[in-house]
Chains A and B, each alone.
Chain A
Amino acid sequence: MMASKNIKRFISLLMAACFILLTFSGCGERYTEKTSFAMGSMLSVKIFAESEEQGNEIFELINSAVTQLDAAISPSAENSEIAVLNTTKNTILSSTAKDFLADCILYSNILDRRVNVAIGAVTKLWGFSTEAPSVPDKNELNNAVAAVDIEKVRIDDITGRVTIPDDMEIDPGAFGKGAACDAAFSATQYKYVPYILTLGGTVLACGNGPKDGKWTIGIRDPFSDAGAYFATLSLAPTSAKNAFFVSTSGSYEKTFIEDGKTYHHILNPKTGMPVETELVSVTVITSSGLSADALSTALFVEGLNDNSLGYIKSLSAEAIFVFRDKTYYVTDGLKDAVKITADGFRAIEYENETQTSQTS
């Protein structure tokens, strides 16, 4: 009698312990990780689905949305609608391509043309996307800069006909990956499956993340190898979309050396030259991919000042500016989310220009 009671007690304890073991060992969430190439970049997605089949379905939706947008707007794809527009200067765009172009123009204007979708003639001369980028001839560059006149883009909302001047070319490079993230989000939002997507460095975090609902996003270390990060952001979506977008513009991407000088790919639309700045990268977090992409480029061009902080505020964004001397500035709404993981970085505060002029 006593022995049987002991055995029962033993089995109960063993089962309880096994339950604890199984519960805790299952804490690491499983995800499906898939990659492909789109928009001249790697598309990588981690999907926290209930099954592999569901993960595959979400990836197919994402991949299809990104590929379709790429086919419509990529200027390097021979038959894309934007490529046709650049060649013919007058064409009818699909509603997808037309709305995309209209959004690019909208954000170019909101951001005082620090980023400009009509910059194609200038970027073509530099050839950053080609195998042999080079410094353009000064006269040619001046002519191309004169052609960057976004007001001359005509869009007929009803027919979809778009016309641009003969010397203008559209370059959606500063907007495309963000727009593709928006397209991926639209294609999957009603599936309610959490995932995190990276397309050429632009990130979409959709739904609640695996760590207390938060996603952890590394910010590339501008002073180290590609793939290394100097800080992490730990964020949960707070917008009505239940998603957020992260974009970084950095002078370490797409560079070349000519006559001993290094040239990077972020061009000032007003001069046609790579931006000369103490910044090495700007990271932006917003609730839309296209605005994140556009804003990170515009902030890199503008630098850290009252204007740029105004852009951040008007787009309800947050940002991190990183400078050559390894100092960094984080906007207030992000301070608790940022953790520095590399050595030598130092936070700075920003004193606005009004305060500066009053104290000097």
Chain B
Amino acid sequence: MKMKHRLLRPLDIAITAAVSAIAVILILSSSSSESISVEIITQGETVYETQLTKVREAFVYKTENGMEIEISRDGVRVLSSDCTGKSCISSGLLTSHGDCSICIPNKTVIRLTGSDESGPDAITY
């Protein structure tokens, strides 16, 4: 008796569906905004870094050059700085990947990084 060959069996379809579902979940979870981190860089050196999801309660991080930066699950903002222009404060609440606040007098950059690539590669201003 000749054996009947089938391209896909129910088990094959089940395995393919299961692995594809896991793949989709992994890809989506890796690109979600939940993986956004805040990085505080002074004079080219990273002085503080954390994932926003790990922040349980909002707190104020003080840099050595006297800047006060509020970090919460919702985002990051500069509360106070002794610079003249205060453009770092006027940057407001940083919430998305790529958002950035720069204090030139204090040579400090606060930026949000992560695997969410939906933002632009650069901003012209």
Q: What is the interface of chain A, defined by CB distance below 8 A to chain B?
A: 6, 9-10, 13-14, 17-18, 20-21, 24-25, 28, 33-37, 40-42, 44, 46, 131, 196-198, 201-203, 205, 209-210, 215-220, 225-229, 232, 246-248, 250, 253-254, 283
Contact = CB atoms under 8 A, between A and B. Distances in A.
User: Chain B interface secondary structure, helix, strand, loop or mixed?
Assistant: mixed
A326 to B, nearest CB: 17
B31 A28 contact: yes
Nearest to A201: B125
B35 to A, nearest CB: 11
Given A13-B15, A225-B92, A227-B99, A21 B123 contact: no
A335 B2 CA distance: 64
Contacts of B74: none
A33 B85 CA distance: 26
Given A201-B123, A218-B120, 14 more contacts: A13-B15, A14-B19, A20-B20, A40-B104, A44-B100, A44-B122, A198-B123, A216-B119, A218-B98, A218-B119, A219-B123, A219-B124, A226-B101, A227-B94
Contacts of B94: 227
Contact of A250 (B20, B43, B109, B125): B125
A36 B44 contact: yes
A220 B124 CA distance: 6
A226 B87 contact: yes
Interface stretch (B21-29, B49-57, B58-66): B21-29
B11 interface: yes
B19 A217 contact: no
Contacts of B107: 37
Contacts of B125: 201, 220, 226, 248, 250, 253
Nearest to A246: B124
A13 B12 CA distance: 7
A172 B41 CA distance: 29
Given A14-B19, A17-B23, A227-B91, A131 B121 contact: no
Contacts, number: 121
Contacts of B84: 131
Contacts of A218: 98, 119-120, 122-124
B102 interface: yes
Given A24-B27, A28-B115, A41-B104, A17 B20 contact: yes
Contacts of B32: none
19 contacts: A6-B11, A10-B15, A14-B19, A24-B27, A35-B109, A37-B104, A41-B104, A42-B102, A44-B100, A46-B121, A198-B123, A198-B124, A202-B124, A218-B123, A220-B123, A225-B90, A226-B125, A227-B99, A248-B125
Nearest to A292: B124
B120 A229 contact: yes
Contacts of B80: none
Contacts of B124: 198, 201-203, 217-220, 246-248, 283
B120 A209 contact: no
A226 B12 contact: no
Nearest to A43: B44
Contacts of B120: 216-218, 229, 232
A31 to B, nearest CB: 9
B91 to A, nearest CB: 5
